[in-house]
Amino acid sequence: MKSLASNWTRRRWLDFRNGHSIYLIFLMTFANFVTIQYGLLIDQVPYLKNLFESIWIFAVVFVSAYVPVAIVIGYWHRKTQWRVEQHALFKENEIGATMWLFVIDLIDGKVSEEEKQQMRDMLHKIVRKPKRTTEQAGNQTQDLADRSSEASVSDFKEPRIEQGQK
């Protein structure tokens, strides 16, 4: 079982990456874009240089025009393109389709014990947990590890992928 310090460190690493890539880099690239546009466009054109006497004036005007345009484009994307993207991702999700077909067959009573075990094995591979042994009790099959398992997915090492496997 991983130590609490290790999990704490992993969470801080995730927080760092999210803060860096989502927020800080966004702000830095935005500031970089404004600076480059001011240097390449405003400084080179005398009329614009007189209009925007400092980079701060240009930045305020640029941000006040850019943000509303970005909001409108983002709204359009969410209302029109989001469904298209999600539909395309859904159609390419073989594992999800396999699991939904299994659920439908399970509801219809068309799933054998062997197929249930195959699905369990596939799901265990996805969550990177070792195979569990099952115990037959009457008509119910129960995973022995489900009874009192306190281990999390992060407690197991990732399986080694041999050359030629995906």
Asked if residue 126 and residue 83 are part of one domain, the reply reads no
Asked if residue 72 and residue 49 are part of one domain, the reply reads yes
Distance CA 21, CA 16 (A): 8
165 SS3 class: coil
Taking every pair of Cα atoms in the chain, the longest distance, rounded to a whole number of angstroms, is 88
Asked if residue 99 and residue 55 are part of one domain, the reply reads no
pLDDT in tens, 7-38: 889 999 999 999 999 899 989 999 999 999 99
Task: Classify the C-alpha dihedral 129-131-136-141 as positive or negative.
Answer: positive
Q: State the pTM of this model.
A: 0.48
Domain holding 13, by residue range, is 4-91
pLDDT in tens, 72-105: 999 998 888 888 888 888 888 887 888 888 888 8
